[in-house]
Amino acid sequence: MLCYSENRENCDTVQCSGYKMAPLEISEEAFDKCCQIEPICEDRGTVWIGRHKPSNSRYVLKIYDLEKCGEELDRIKDEITTVRQLQHRNVIKYLVSFISGNHLWIVMPLIGYTSASRLIVSHFTNGLPEPALALIFKDILCGLHYLHSKGIIHRSIKGTHILVDSEGRSLLCGFRHSTNSILQGKWEKRIHSYPPEAAYNLNWASPEMLKQDMEGYSEKTDIYSLGVTLCELGNGEIPYCKYEPQLILVEKVYGRQPFLYDMHTCRFLFENGKDSGVGGSYGDCLGSLPKAAEKAFSASAHNFVSKCVEYDASARPSAEKLFDHPFIRQTRKMDIKLPEMLHPVTPITDETQLGETEVVNDVHYDSQQSPDVMWDL
Amino acid sequence: MEPDLYSDCTNDGGEELFSIIHKIDSTEIVYSQPEIKYRRCAIKIMKHRTLRRIPNGEQNVHREIQLLRGLNHKNVIHLIEVMHITDKQKIYMVMDYCVTGLQEMLDSTSKKKFPQWQSHKYFLQLAEGLEYLHSKGVIHKDIKPGNLLLTTNSTLKIIDFGVAEQIEAMAEDDTITTSQGSPVFQPPEVAGGAEKFPGFKVDVWSAGVTLFNMCSGSYPFDGANVFRLYESICEKPIEIPSDLDVTLQRLLEGMLLKNPYDRLSIQEVRKHEWCLRKQVPNHEAEVPLVSKKSKGKRYTAIDVIRYQFYEEDEQFSNHRQFITEHELNVVVAGKLGYHFVACFSDPRYKEPLRTIRSHIPPPDMSVVTGEKSITITYVVTESRQREEERQQQELTTPDSSEDAASQHGQILKTSKKRKPLSCINIKGLPSCSQS
């Protein structure tokens, strides 16, 4: 029942949109665990970078301890089945998953830049530059549109669930919280089920989902989360990260919206300096504020956010419509690729010397953030 | 006695687990969100003192808790947690959140009944829940529209296991000796005072009366008092309205047979033609899920006591800003000045979006759309005395908002026009009187 491994014949020709792979051995022995990256899901599992011995290429291994999983296992199972059904260049692909002893292994392609949150933590502490954001969000919108067309609501779009591979392509992952709007063969317009681990995603969750009233929510909840994610990646800080969850919930229900910090939106704070009144009020919520004054986001970026975080879900544009937004359209004229923008952060590749890689070594992040912040694949 | 009864319940500090968002019923139930999951749920609060006054009150509650703990079905109310706080002498039962009950919905209609397809929808869920209960050896004994609630996505939940009985695991059959449900829903064997009777059939009868009530808007038996009513239940032959569907009439006949041994079992009910047949929903005639508590609002949302800002510019009066109870507590506890000057301005990002001069940390800045800048002034006073103190303070030291205005030049020009906000008076908070 618990075996997710594909038939060996299928594995022999594993190819997933761009990744050319040697056949994967479905056994623990075939993999060398090189480097542990991060515990995930409250220590129920760990993420490793592993070397596949026969092919000598690297993969990301997510290993869950089945004994610690408990109820969580059902969600992990659902996640695997969901991801298995998806095939899109901007959605994570699980190559193989299998049970070995007490552990559930999930093998994924190596993703060079890891998650977008990791980029912020490791180098872009002040937020990613706007062109990079536009490129990332273009890909994410593409993936999101695909998901929505399949009736899947992601429900936990956030920085840690956006991965960037070494070619600069962004992928969506983190389907543990997702749900399907097709229930018992019927496409439900309104979903009422409340994600069991909502506290993790409270900062990103849309007000209609938190309200839990009879109106329910739809796939537009993902668009809201997308807007918050743009603020997160643009500001280099998770919106409302210093507030207690109860307050976040109440404020969201009453329509408080996040926005991008830049010289236009925050100017008055610097004119004022960090003096008692205003600075005192904001000092604890805008950690990255001092540098925000040097940045300037375009009007379209601000507009993109405010459209995404529209309180009324029906007024929010769909993923498809957002694709035509000027903020996304600016990528058409760009001749620079994402990896160049992300310089000097280097992706992990098959050749990278692990253990010396800066990205892997310095794991500093705010302990107040959710425990699975970095590699919640 | 008490420590034994509640030894397995969460004790001390339990109250921190949830916070009451909105009180719906002055006596019993409040909505809440357990901090851990932020799920909306209902909490039944019982005081030990009140329970002691009711005969067997404590034992009944304890039995209900034990019973609910063993149940897990989508059509039966789910007991999430029980907290027993010794300091407060209260028991908190955290359960699924339900929007409204069938009885309330029936009362909201003029004919006191549902269209057939809607009754069908609810009855199927009731039958499914009952079958589960019976499979667990639980006899509910008090099935009626008032004990059937609906969640936000219209899932029916059977509630109130106060008089329910669990058959002992080794019992040969479902024979029981007592039943204490609502009189109108009692079967003839209870009304007639039989000593022993099959328990599951009691629920089938009550479910039958419930279905009768939902479809026809009346009760099958009537009586001026309980005695007359019981007499009619025992002797009067059942009259089923002929305007109902023929298969439905047959189902009701089968469920309302006087002899419990002839009566359909819940399994037979579920296999009945009327239950198996698909009903075509007609959404125009649907009775909406509106509860008394929602005061006519279509959707019942999380409600927090609101504190509205005073807004100078009427043009923006539809931009309602709220300060939450949480924040207000901060204000009152802060014992500082109570200024809160906010300046909203042009969304074209040429001007600052919002200026706040405050001792209350605002949760975050928000983008407000609109053409002109507006000023929002907000003053909370803890008491008249404190207000006077504040005014004195203002006289001696430069007004903090003026200070801000001078720094921001034209931005806060409008703030000079500000007027104090009218009173904010909330129950349960330290005296907040008009300024």
Is pLDDT at A336 greater than 50 in this prediction? yes
Higher pLDDT, A175 or B399: A175
Is pLDDT at A339 greater than 50 in this prediction? yes
**Is B60 contained in some domain?**
yes
**Are residues B349 and A264, on separate chains, in Cβ contact within 8 Å?**
yes
**Are residues B356 and A278, on separate chains, in Cβ contact within 8 Å?**
yes
A52: phi then psi, degrees, rounded to nearest 5:
-85, 110
Higher pLDDT, A297 or B425: A297
Chain A nearest C-alpha distance from B24 (Å): 15
Residue B56, domain extent = 16-97+293-312+319-335
**Are residues B326 and A247, on separate chains, in Cβ contact within 8 Å?**
yes
Chain A nearest C-alpha distance from B363 (Å): 7
A196 pLDDT tier (thresholds 50, 70, 90): confident
**Is B429 contained in some domain?**
no
**Are residues B302 and A213, on separate chains, in Cβ contact within 8 Å?**
yes
pLDDT in tens, A61-107: 888 888 888 778 888 899 999 999 999 999 999 988 888 888 888 88
Higher pLDDT, A375 or A70: A70
> B176 and B266: one domain?
yes
**Is B288 contained in some domain?**
no
The chain-wide mean pLDDT, for chain A, equals 77
> B38 and B123: one domain?
no
> B148 and B68: one domain?
no
Which structural domains are found in chain A, ordered by start?
Answer: 2-109 (3.30.200.20), 116-179+191-341 (1.10.510.10)
**Is B145 contained in some domain?**
yes
Closest C-alpha among B47, B283, B291 to residue B151: B291
Higher pLDDT, A243 or A302: A302
- Whichever domain contains B183, its CATH number is 1.10.510.10
**Are residues A259 and B369, on separate chains, in Cβ contact within 8 Å?**
no
Name residues of chain B where pLDDT drops below 70.
Answer: 1-38, 290-435
> B303 and B272: one domain?
no
Q: Which two tokens stand for residue A225?
A: 């989360």
Chain B residues within 8 A of A247 when measuring between CB atoms: 324, 326, 363
Helix, strand and coil content of chain B, in percent to the nearest 5, comes to 35, 15, 45
> B76 and B223: one domain?
no
Chain B residues within 8 A of A256 when measuring between CB atoms: 363-364, 366
- Chosen for mutation from A206, A212, A263, A295 (greatest number of chain B CBs closer than 10 Å) is A212
> B86 and B214: one domain?
no
- Select from B38, B364, B366 the Cβ nearest to the Cβ of A199: B38
**Are residues A214 and B289, on separate chains, in Cβ contact within 8 Å?**
yes
ipTM of the complex: 0.71
- pLDDT number for residue A210: 82
- pLDDT number for residue B102: 87
Chain B nearest C-alpha distance from A129 (Å): 19
Distance, in Å, from the CA atom of B22 to the CA atom of B26, rounded to the nearest integer, reads 11
> B47 and B157: one domain?
no
- pLDDT number for residue B266: 92
Higher pLDDT, B421 or A109: A109
Q: Is B245 known to be catalytic? A: no
Is pLDDT at A144 greater than 70 in this prediction? yes
Distance, in Å, from the CA atom of A299 to the CA atom of B360, rounded to the nearest integer, reads 30
Chain A nearest C-alpha distance from B163 (Å): 30
Chain A residues within 8 A of B358 when measuring between CB atoms: 277, 281
**Is B386 contained in some domain?**
no
Length of chain A: 377
> B112 and B219: one domain?
yes
Chain A residues within 8 A of B369 when measuring between CB atoms: 306
| Catalytic annotation, pick one of B142, B174, B313, B346 | B142
Is pLDDT at A17 greater than 60 in this prediction? no
**Is B350 contained in some domain?**
no
**Is B108 contained in some domain?**
yes
**Is B363 contained in some domain?**
no
Domain count, chain B: 2
Closest C-alpha among B68, B83, B109 to residue B10: B83
> B161 and B181: one domain?
yes
Please give the DSSP secondary-structure letter assigned to residue A7.
Answer: P
Q: Are B94 and B29 a contacting pair, CB within 8 Å?
A: no
- pLDDT number for residue B122: 93
> B92 and B189: one domain?
no
Distance, in Å, from the CA atom of B435 to the CA atom of B426, rounded to the nearest integer, reads 14
Chain A residues within 8 A of B397 when measuring between CB atoms: none
- Whichever domain contains B28, its CATH number is 3.30.200.20
> B251 and B115: one domain?
yes
**Are residues B302 and A253, on separate chains, in Cβ contact within 8 Å?**
yes
Closest residue of chain A to B353, computed from CA coordinates: A265
Q: Where are the alpha helices (DSSP H) in B324-396?
A: 325-334, 384-396
**Between B246-255 and B199-216, two packed helices, what is the crossing angle to 10 degrees?**
150
> B179 and B267: one domain?
yes
Q: Are B141 and B158 a contacting pair, CB within 8 Å?
A: no
**Are residues A214 and B352, on separate chains, in Cβ contact within 8 Å?**
no
